[in-house]
Structure 1
Amino acid sequence: MPPPPPEVALPEVEPIIPDEEFNETVPDLDAGDDPELDRPLESIEAFERRLAAEQSDAEPAEGSEAPLGDPALADGDPVEEIGDAPISDTALTEPLPPLGEFEVEPVEFAEDAEDRETVEIDYRVAVNGLEDADEETDAAMRSMFNDLSALRDGDGEAANVAMIAARLTEDSELLKRILASEGWYEADVQTRIDRPTDDGGDQRIVAVLDVNPGQRFAFSEINIEAQPTEPSDLIRDNLALEVGEPIVAQRVQGAEAQVAVALPENGYPFAEVGQRDILLDQYTGEGVYTLPVETGPRARFGGITTEGDLAFDAEHVGVLARFKPGELYDASKVDDLRKAMVATGLFSTVTVAPERTGEAVGDGTEYVTVNAEQNAGPPRTIAGAAGYGTGEGLRLEASWTHRNMFPPEGALIVHGVAGTSEQGAGVTFRRSNAGRRDRTFELTAEALRSDYDAYDAYTGRLAGLIRYDSTPIWQKTLTYSLGVELLATAEKDYDFALGRRDRRTFYIAGLSGQVGLDLTDDLLNPTEGFRVTALVQPEGSLEDGFNPYVRARIDASGYFPASESIVLAGRIRLGTIQGVDRFDIAPSRRMYAGGGGSVRGFAYQKLGPLDPDGDPIGGRSLNEAAAEVRYRFGNFGIVGFVDVGQAYASTMPQFDDLRFGVGLGGRFYTNFGPFRLDVATPLDRRPGESRINVYVSIGQAF
């Protein structure tokens, strides 16, 4: 620094220590005052001899070897003795105590000072500038930010301001990514921390993110680089992007995914969607989008092959397939085949994929082979179910199944039931996908003991059935079943001529036919649409000659979604038995009403004609109806319901003396259907009827 100009008057500075005081404090270093300062330094050898003399009584002679480094120092003994050490503590020369008597005093540490109480800083978050977007986009971006924000994840608390600042930095980058995903590629985000004011209001620190979105980029061109397809606009029609719309990442990815799905579903099994390129112009806010697509050859279905640990052969794989050779390739049908194979329950893993053959068809297409790679899993299953109903009591069912004892898909099932009112066992042979997908053939032999208020029966049964049903994979609009049945049953029935219940034996042969129409949206838990099922069973009793008759029933149910969480449901049932007197019908084949699957609020089979003891004896017709309001929240639901019905001695329903039951139910929804608990009470309750009736089962009431 240059000196100040001479004309500047500087203030006088007094010294901190006067010169006289400083000079008196410094000692005089003149050698004449202290002879030690004038003495020459001693040699290292003389220093070591003097040091040894000070540590020992021996006095080494002058000129001898320096004792430093000798273990014995001055005594000349190369073996060091404890006594050599200039230590007077005699304990060092005492022998060590035995190990068993050696005592160790625990080391005591000073107590740690108490940890200081953690101090939390409360803060809130303010995001400014997102409102410049449209209302829908603003809400979507704020929702995404709230889900991923480090500041939001901190629940408004931090250990210090530095932590808040770090979260702000992280969230500013998050906001830039969110804005870019919605088309704002040049957004700027500024952060700051505002201290609370002294106006008595909210005293929390404010973490502020000021957003300047900038311009939003939009498509100016959409280009597709691909070989010609059939039809020619196949790719463009499925790429749901338009010139002029904002460049939104989710829409771009969704459009490309749709192309990747559409091509294999329209004859291009080996199509591949390449990496997009978007060229942005920062001056105009426009983007030129280019998508390369490798379509591969157009193909038709050829043969089916299978390999691996096989559960069944390629011929049966073809039974499960919904495509025929020569049809245009459709990836959705290949995926459907994979699902059908999984649904058999015979595999641990299944892979179904197309393979090129190079064989030309002649119309610009080539054949592809569909190869199913199997890995068979354990074929045996043990299953169980439980339920409870007032009047029925507890019911437990169990089964053992070998699903592929008779390949392909020939299952042997051993099943049993143990309950309060029913016990029995049986064996069933079942061929699934019998010559056609979802067609099932069954043969059953079983023996049952039933003990209900309506009848007491010992029954042997042989039955055969072929049916075409809906499955969780493919819910069919039209279903059917055809069957034959032979029964021998000894049952107690009230004989009005004798005035008591008497056991009689019935031999019954019958046919059954059922057809169903299903236009609902879900097989297990419908929320809209309707179903209709009609059952006709011509049969005859051989007790006293041949007495033919016909049992028939029709069921219909409908479902209406009143809102996203509320469904209104209703059902009706009508039944009749024509051609025979009631007394000539086995009690177990008559019609009854009441119970969890009929009219809730009443015990099982308790509605209809009664004997003098008040026990049901069954009728030849019935009518039932029910209405439910189903409210679902998450995996749980509440149901309010009203049921009505009655069974009659006549062959046609009379629609009089109708009985009503009301109640509430709870539902727990699972992937195999809802678990149901219903509690109901009868209206206008009569003597002998329970006030509360409980029903527990799997599945909706209808």
Structure 2
Amino acid sequence: MQKSEKSCDSSCRRLAGIGSLLVGAAALPALLLAPSVIAQEQEKSVSRTGVAAAADDPIASPSPPPPEADLPEVEPIIADDEFEKAIPPISAEEDPELDRPLESIAEVERRQAADAARRGNQDGDEAETAGGAATPAVDGGPVPALADGDSVEAIGDAPISDIELAALLPPLDNFDVEPVEFAEAEEEDDGRELAYQVRVNGLDAADDGTSVDLADMFGDLSALYDGDGKADNAAMIRARLSADGELMQRILASEGYYDAVVETRIERGPREEGQDRGSRPITAIIDVTPGQRYTLSDIVIDAAPTIPPRLIADNFPLSVGEPIVAQRIQGAEAAIALKLPEEGYPFAQVGQRDVLLDPATGEGVYTLPVDIGKRSRFGGIETTGDLAFDADHVAVLARFKRGDLYDSRKVDDLRQALVATGLFSTVAAEPQPTGESAGDGTEYVTMLVTQQAGPPRTIAASAGYGTGEGLRVEGSWTHRNMFPPEGALTFRGVIGTQEQGIGATLRRSNAGRRDRTLELVAEAKRSNYEAFEALTGRVGARISYDSTPIWQKKFTYAYGVELIATREDDYDFATGERSFDFYTILGLSGQVGIDRTDNLLDPTKGFRITSLIQPEGSLSGRFSPYARLRTDISGYYPMTDSIVLAGRVRFGSILGAARERLAPSRRFYAGGGGSVRGFGYQELGPKDPNNDPIGGRSVNEVAVEARYRFGDFGVVGFVDAGQVYRSSAPTFQDLRFGAGIGARYYTNFGPMRFDIATPIARKPGEARVSVYVSIGQAF
């Protein structure tokens, strides 16, 4: 601040806010009533009291002072007797004329007429002598005149001094009115739009290459440019020009040009021959004189010491010598307001900036007060409001524990996790000071979570279509907090052309750990595909640790157990016909995943690897164990900002059992919207003599996509390949290819997909075109 005092005098200005100047308020002088004015007001007050009041109390007097007042005696200005003599008579005894009856209006008019006639005779004699003309008479008598010589204008039967006034008015047809001719004809408002152009002069002088393009900024916000060069009338053009003049002033001030001068005007071009005035070209002109650009000569941060010592300085991006740009200053202040709570200062407050400008040097001293508050650590968790669950379950969602240094990012994460439960209409998490010391110069803060439980029930539906799968519609009803905390019960049903089913799921989210889920499932369904027909019941339990839209995890896992009872048909090569068999299967499952992509629902870069192992055994007859293995790998590479190259490979194998010992639904198949597009669902692989797929013990698939996105829409070109084999290991022979194109519509819950594909080297019985409609990318 010493620097500013040294280089600045009384001509300096302070900025209350970036882009505007403080204007000092001038003191308003008090207005004093002059004695004459006071006297007039008193006289008006006396006149309003009325005659009756004056009669009762001839001399008005003010209210007497209080008894205890000790006032000096004052000599009267005028004696009472003298004052009473000066008052005019106001009673009949004093003035008999007051009792005389009033004259009628007719008597007054006759008396006034007689007086006027006498004066008129005298004046007429004098006028005749001087001017040689006599005063005209009315009704045989002379014209009455006033004392100043003017004739009297009679009312009713009174004399009329002007003979013309007594004459009859001429008919309107005799009037010949000449229209007024103007130097330039007025424009007719015929509802025609006016075209105009916009010209900005002098703005280039403010473009030093170190800031934003001022012309572009003005063009984006301008009312004149927004009108596309058309207006209903000239008044609209002037209004837009006035608004744009103020806009230009604000833009220049926001870039440090506080002395800028902006003038506006409208010019009309010359009128060509045969052209009406309304067609003359109009140009709205803004003349700009930017003036000097103010720069920072000093930066003063008024704050207490922090830990680490340079916490504010290292995160404050302004520097001495740079222009005073509003966006830069507001961004620097926001950076401090965000950084301090991330480093243990939850109650930090950024005060009101002060910028002192010196017009003589074009420099400004920037001062920012910052109250850092008490450095704090996380303490306990409390909750209030209409609760969906208690504070203990809130602690399960939190990624901090007691004693951790306060970090606002972890508080934001907790708030997002609470919102993601879907159980609240509103929820907030805020630190509360406790005054309890946590050592190391810090104190504990309590996280207060304010809950407002929302409707816990949800009804949902989805639909899809795929060649070979047919139409499939699924609906569900869910109570998300049937068994608090976060114990959801879901009933669902599936109706489709080739699949029908019902099921129930009990799902405990964040079960003892954040993002860990426990599921209990029971379902029954009927399937009727070309590969098999089945009636299946299944119960199972599964624990998973999965990625969520809030926290996409690099490592995920799942494990579980299931019991399947199913009646399915299969082709018997010995008898040459299809027959039903009953299978009872007990299985375990384990899955691990690695995710290095940038987005859970629509990745554009990175890779994913998922491996699944399912040890199973048939309980029908003698126990026959086997293992199903499958690995999926996908990668994503951004070619440009709008084009992504994506690829996927899949390998699968069943070890330990012959194909005939496997239930048809537990074998591998390929083909369809999530497999090899261009082919029907489960169409690839070994087939029976009726050309129906019978599945295999190994599979391999590969797919390549080029995804082009523009706004909320996208186009995808793809090529898929794959095959299913009888052996337990894929041989990579006899691969089948499909190619196609797809459309995408991107929503906040993922892209909607429409793909159409055709098989390459199509064989008899295969469809020429296959269509797939669903939610989400193919992979």
Band the TM-score falls in, shorter-chain normalisation: 0.7 to 0.9
Q: Indicate yes or no: 2:514 matched with 1:437.
A: yes
Residues 643-699 of structure 1: CA deviation (Å, up to 9, x unaligned): 111111111111111111111111111110011111111111111111111000000
Q: Indicate yes or no: 2:261 matched with 1:150.
A: no
Specify the code of the residue in structure 1 equivalent to 2:458: T
Specify the code of the residue in structure 2 equivalent to 1:438: D
Give the 3-state SS of the residue equivalent to 1:690 in structure 2.
coil
Q: Indicate yes or no: 2:560 matched with 1:560.
A: no
What are the within-5 Å matches in structure 2 for residues 506-585 of structure 1? 506-585=583-662
Give the 3-state SS of the residue equivalent to 2:579 in structure 1.
strand
Give the 3-state SS of the residue equivalent to 2:695 in structure 1.
coil
Determine if contact 1:622/1:645 at 8 Å carries over to the other structure.
yes
- Cα–Cα, structure 1 residues 502 and 216, in superposed 2: closer, same or farther, change >3 Å? same
C-alpha displacement of 1:402: 1.1
Residues 7-43 of structure 1: CA deviation (Å, up to 9, x unaligned): xxxxxxxxxxxxxxxx9xx9964467962437999xx
Q: Distance in 1 between matches of 2:230 and 2:552?
A: 52
For 1:63, the equivalent position in structure 2 comes to none
Q: Distance in 2 between matches of 1:558 and 1:123?
A: 55
Q: Distance in 1 between matches of 2:560 and 2:298?
A: 64
Determine if contact 2:135/2:143 at 8 Å carries over to the other structure.
no
Q: Distance in 2 between matches of 1:39 and 1:682?
A: 122
Q: Distance in 2 between matches of 1:630 and 1:142?
A: 36
Structure 1: any 5+ residue segments left out of the alignment? 1-22, 42-46, 49-114
Q: Distance in 1 between matches of 2:620 and 2:209?
A: 76
Q: Indicate yes or no: 2:576 matched with 1:499.
A: yes
For 2:306, the equivalent position in structure 1 comes to 229
Residues 571-601 of structure 1: CA deviation (Å, up to 9, x unaligned): 1111111111011111001000100000111
Q: Distance in 1 between matches of 2:555 and 2:746?
A: 27
For 1:208, the equivalent position in structure 2 comes to 285
For 2:317, the equivalent position in structure 1 comes to 240
Determine if contact 1:397/1:416 at 8 Å carries over to the other structure.
yes
Residues 227-246 of structure 1: CA deviation (Å, up to 9, x unaligned): 11111111111111111111
Specify the code of the residue in structure 2 equivalent to 1:124: Q
Q: Distance in 2 between matches of 1:238 and 1:488?
A: 64
For 2:140, the equivalent position in structure 1 comes to 35
C-alpha displacement of 1:193: 2.9
Percent of residue pairs bearing the same amino acid type:
64
Q: Distance in 2 between matches of 1:473 and 1:608?
A: 40
Determine if contact 1:122/1:156 at 8 Å carries over to the other structure.
yes
C-alpha displacement of 1:417: 0.8
C-alpha displacement of 1:197: 5.5
What are the within-5 Å matches in structure 2 for residues 83-232 of structure 1? 117-134=190-207, 140-196=213-269, 204-232=281-309
Residues 340-376 of structure 1: CA deviation (Å, up to 9, x unaligned): 1111111111111111110011210000000111111
Q: TM-score, normalised by structure 1?
A: 0.83
Q: Indicate yes or no: 2:674 matched with 1:630.
A: no
For 1:319, the equivalent position in structure 2 comes to 396
Give the 3-state SS of the residue equivalent to 2:439 in structure 1.
coil
Q: 1:272 aligns with which of 324, 349, 371?
A: 349
Residues 69-94 of structure 1: CA deviation (Å, up to 9, x unaligned): xxxxxxxxxxxxxxxxxxxxxxxxxx
- Cα–Cα, structure 1 residues 35 and 572, in superposed 2: closer, same or farther, change >3 Å? same
Determine if contact 2:380/2:446 at 8 Å carries over to the other structure.
yes
What are the within-5 Å matches in structure 2 for residues 321-400 of structure 1? 321-400=398-477
Residues 393-440 of structure 1: CA deviation (Å, up to 9, x unaligned): 011111111111111111111111111111111111111000000000
Q: Distance in 1 between matches of 2:374 and 2:712?
A: 46
Residues 207-244 of structure 1: CA deviation (Å, up to 9, x unaligned): 22222222222211111101111111111111111111
C-alpha displacement of 1:170: 2.2
C-alpha displacement of 1:618: 0.3
Q: Distance in 1 between matches of 2:556 and 2:144?
A: 126
Determine if contact 2:207/2:214 at 8 Å carries over to the other structure.
no
Q: Distance in 1 between matches of 2:368 and 2:287?
A: 35
Give the 3-state SS of the residue equivalent to 2:312 in structure 1.
helix
Q: Distance in 1 between matches of 2:739 and 2:553?
A: 33
Specify the code of the residue in structure 2 equivalent to 1:185: Y
For 1:488, the equivalent position in structure 2 comes to 565
For 1:459, the equivalent position in structure 2 comes to 536
Q: TM-score, normalised by structure 2?
A: 0.75
Determine if contact 1:131/1:138 at 8 Å carries over to the other structure.
no
Q: Distance in 1 between matches of 2:313 and 2:307?
A: 12
- Cα–Cα, structure 1 residues 37 and 623, in superposed 2: closer, same or farther, change >3 Å? same
C-alpha displacement of 1:297: 0.4
Residues 377-403 of structure 1: CA deviation (Å, up to 9, x unaligned): 111111111110000001111111111
C-alpha displacement of 1:546: 1.1
Determine if contact 1:130/1:138 at 8 Å carries over to the other structure.
no
Residues 125-168 of structure 1: CA deviation (Å, up to 9, x unaligned): 11232333447667632222122212112221234445433332
- Cα–Cα, structure 1 residues 621 and 33, in superposed 2: closer, same or farther, change >3 Å? closer
Give the 3-state SS of the residue equivalent to 1:361 in structure 2.
strand
Alpha-carbon RMSD = 2.4
Q: Distance in 1 between matches of 2:413 and 2:615?
A: 38
Specify the code of the residue in structure 1 equivalent to 2:337: A
C-alpha displacement of 1:249: 0.7
Specify the code of the residue in structure 1 equivalent to 2:311: L
C-alpha displacement of 1:311: 1.1
C-alpha displacement of 1:332: 1.0
Specify the code of the residue in structure 1 equivalent to 2:507: R
Give the 3-state SS of the residue equivalent to 1:234 in structure 2.
coil
Q: Distance in 1 between matches of 2:143 and 2:327?
A: 93
C-alpha displacement of 1:452: 0.5
Determine if contact 2:541/2:560 at 8 Å carries over to the other structure.
yes
For 2:334, the equivalent position in structure 1 comes to 257
- Cα–Cα, structure 1 residues 32 and 511, in superposed 2: closer, same or farther, change >3 Å? closer
Q: Distance in 2 between matches of 1:38 and 1:416?
A: 114
Residues 257-311 of structure 1: CA deviation (Å, up to 9, x unaligned): 1111111111011111111111112122212111101111000001111111111
C-alpha displacement of 1:498: 1.1
- Cα–Cα, structure 1 residues 407 and 205, in superposed 2: closer, same or farther, change >3 Å? same
Residues 458-486 of structure 1: CA deviation (Å, up to 9, x unaligned): 11101100000000111100000001111
- Cα–Cα, structure 1 residues 483 and 284, in superposed 2: closer, same or farther, change >3 Å? same
- Cα–Cα, structure 1 residues 283 and 615, in superposed 2: closer, same or farther, change >3 Å? same
The alignment covers a number of residue pairs equal to 608
- Cα–Cα, structure 1 residues 355 and 540, in superposed 2: closer, same or farther, change >3 Å? same
Give the 3-state SS of the residue equivalent to 2:142 in structure 1.
helix
